[in-house]
Amino acid sequence: MSIMMDAATFAEISRLVRDYAGLAFGPDKRYLFESRLRPILARFGLRSFDELPRALARDRDGLRVAVIQALVTHETSFFRDRRVFDHLERQLLPELAARRGGQLRIWSAATSTGQEAWTLAIVTDRLRRTHPGLKCEIIGSDLSEAALARAREGRYSTFEVQRGLTARELVEYFERDGEHWRVRARLRAFVRFHRHNLLDSPRPLGPPFDLVLLRNVLIYMDVPTRTRILRHVVAALAPGGGLLLGTSELLPPGIALERDPAIAGLYRSGGAIRRSSDLRDPNAARLRREIIPGRALSP
């Protein structure tokens, strides 16, 4: 019995993961595959990696999902990069809410175990103090059912809540649940989680979004896949809406969004930046006429 993965098996599993989830792994990741997939062999009664491709081909037992989930990175935390959420709370969300008559739809795409979606719930809850009547709908989605089950449960270890939440946020928005902390009911009212593969159209997730967070997932994908996913996301954005990528992630060419210099990783649709910064400019009307909605304005 071989406990090593040969090159052909590695290539076949890589192809499966790319076709199904868009994730691209280079040949240097063979060791990672071996270490992450070894427990799966035992779980599915396979004696060696050589048996894996055939078992995947006749998959009836969730083997495919288990393989992908084992290879995907679910790393996340509350308020991951706090400056981003400070900007959302102070500037972007109030601006978007004003445009949309006090109603916001926000999508945390690739939300993993939910910390990003719950962070948005905290931010928008605080915003309601200065914007009474603000209505928010937050949707968290991910490919992984296991991650989503944890997100829906909203129950986190002390280690997890300590990564990003202040003591004040913890006591205000979480309650003790044994050794864990559970999100309070008042946040649960406006957050929903759905399984969604980013390679597919987000139409089933409902009407357009004012803000989409798509952070720390495109880095695992090649450029054609990023482009395909971002086209879906652009189609799901309301006019003037915002897209937030991870701070080190760049928009591939050909995506009809404008970079918002206010914060790294933020992009806007439909000429929103000029419109908001030139509201008092006497040339604003002329500028507005010049902006062709949907055209990329970034240099």
Ligand X SMILES: C[S@@+](CC[C@H](N)C(=O)[O-])C[C@H]1O[C@@H](n2cnc3c(N)ncnc32)[C@H](O)[C@@H]1O
CA angle 25, 28, 30 (to 5 degrees): 80
CB of 74 to ligand X, least distance (A): 4
| Contact call for residues 251 and 217 (beta carbons, < 8 A) | no
In 3D space, the residue among 250, 184, 252, 246 whose CA is nearest the CA of residue 223 turns out to be 252
Nearer to ligand X, 80 or 105 (CB): 80
Nearer to ligand X, 169 or 278 (CB): 169
Instruction: Please tell me the distance from the alpha carbon of residue 190 to that of residue 122, in angstroms, as a whole number.
Output: 11
Show the tokens assigned to 62: 């969730």
Phi/psi for 194 (5° steps) reads -135, 150
**Contacts with ligand X, residue ranges (CB under 6 A):** 21-23, 72-76, 80, 110-112, 116, 142-144, 147, 197-199, 215-217
Strands 103-109 and 135-142: what pairing?
parallel
CB of 50 to ligand X, least distance (A): 27
Active site residue 142: yes
CB of 108 to ligand X, least distance (A): 7
Nearer to ligand X, 120 or 237 (CB): 120
Nearer to ligand X, 78 or 173 (CB): 78
Q: Which residue bears the tokens 């709908």? A: 137
112: left (phi over 0), alpha (psi -120 to 50) or beta: left
Containing H/E element for 118?
Answer: helix 115-130
Show the tokens assigned to 25: 């792994």
Give 132's contacts (C-beta < 8 A, 6+ positions apart). none
Active site residue 184: no
CB of 225 to ligand X, least distance (A): 8
Instruction: Please tell me the distance from the alpha carbon of residue 259 to that of residue 65, in angstroms, as a whole number.
Output: 35
CB of 110 to ligand X, least distance (A): 3
CB of 231 to ligand X, least distance (A): 14
Rg of the chain on CA atoms, in Å: 21
Nearer to ligand X, 164 or 271 (CB): 164
Show the tokens assigned to 240: 């003037």
Task: Say which of 81, 105, 125, 142 is annotated catalytic.
Answer: 142
Nearer to ligand X, 78 or 276 (CB): 78
Residue 91 three-state SS: helix
User: Residues with catalytic annotation?
Assistant: 36, 142
